[in-house]
Amino acid sequence: MVAPLTAEDKKNLDQALALIADAEKQLARAKIAKIDVASHEAELLRLKDRLLSIKQAYFPGGRA
């Protein structure tokens, strides 16, 4: 049986989550500067939750 997602897909998920972590840091800086980033923050959280759900479903325990 062929796995629905591959090790390459896991790598892409990990890279996307790393980019989200960087974006979260930038949003925190923007908030300190009193820039309204609420809509961006909400969208980023939605995407992060979705990616984490996919990763957990297809790569439980971090396996690839």
13-58 tens-digit pLDDT: 999 999 999 999 999 999 999 999 999 999 999 999 999 999 999 9
Handedness of CA 24, 13, 57, 59 (dihedral sign): negative
**Cα(40)–Cα(54) distance, integer angstroms:** 21
> Tell me, what's the pLDDT at 61?
83
Whole-structure pTM value: 0.85
> How much is the pLDDT for 1?
63
Q: How far apart are CA 32 and CA 47, in angstroms?
A: 23
Identify the pLDDT of residue 13.
97
Dist. CA 56–CA 62, nearest whole Å: 8
